[in-house]
Structure formats: C-alpha cells, structure tokens
Amino acid sequence: MTPPLNPLVDEIKTLIIDSLNLEHVTPADIETDAPLFVEGLGLDSIDALELGVALQKRYGLSLSADSAETRQHFASVATLVAFVSANRTK
C-alpha cells in the first residue's frame, strides 16, 4: 500500500488522465490499487504505449517494450509509483 501522502500518486494519476485524454475521469476516480488495464480503469494496449512514452519523457525512465517486468510495473497506480520512485532520473 502506497503511503497516502505520497505526492507521486496524484501526479501519476494526473499524468494518466492528461496523456490518455481521459476527459471524463478525475484523479479521485482512479483507485490507487485497482488494475489500470482491461479491468479497473479499462485501458488498452495503445494506452500502455502512450503511458510508457509519457513516463519516459517526464521521469527519464527506461522501459523495455514488452517484458513481464514492465507489465508488473504497469499493473496499477501504486506499482507505477513504486517503479518511478526507484528508477526516475529526473
């Protein structure tokens, strides 16, 4: 469970909304621990690519396009927060 005060949580939720044009969604609508893809928020594979580009640009991460590890990082906002915290270069 991500500490509730971690500012990265809202930052990443906002990044998801902005980069994926989720005009009908607010950060409060996205559950931190819920699945992002297929279930939960209901994102698809194009969204995964889009989000990957946005995360690389914003935080200077390097991602391998299609690995089991990357899929784990993209499971939820909470896993993305942990991944970004540990690997960001900016």
Partner 1 sequence: MTSSTAHCFRLKNWAAWAPGLPDAESWLAWARGERQIGVDGEPAVAAMPPMLRRRAQRFGRIALESLYALPDDTSPIVFASRHGEVPRSVELLQSLASSGEVSPQSFSMAVHNATAGLFTIASKQVVNVTAIAAGRDSALAGIVEALGLLADGANSVRLILCDAPLPEIYADFAAANSSADAAPYSCVLALMRGDDFSLQTQAGVHLDNNEPGLALLRFMLGTATTQALSDGWQLVRNESTPFIHPAVYAGN
Interacting residues toward partner 1 by CB under 8 A: 20-24, 42, 46-47, 49-50, 53, 57
Q: Select 4 or 23, whichever has its Cβ closest to partner 1.
A: 23
Query: CA-to-CA distance for 5 and 40, rounded, in angstroms?
Result: 22
Q: Which residue from 25, 85, 24, 80 is spatially nearest to 54, judged by alpha carbons?
A: 80
For residue 2, the minimal CB distance to partner 1 (Å) is: 25
For residue 47, the minimal CB distance to partner 1 (Å) is: 7
Task: Identify the residue whose tokens are 């044009």.
Answer: 21
Q: Select 4 or 89, whichever has its Cβ closest to partner 1.
A: 89
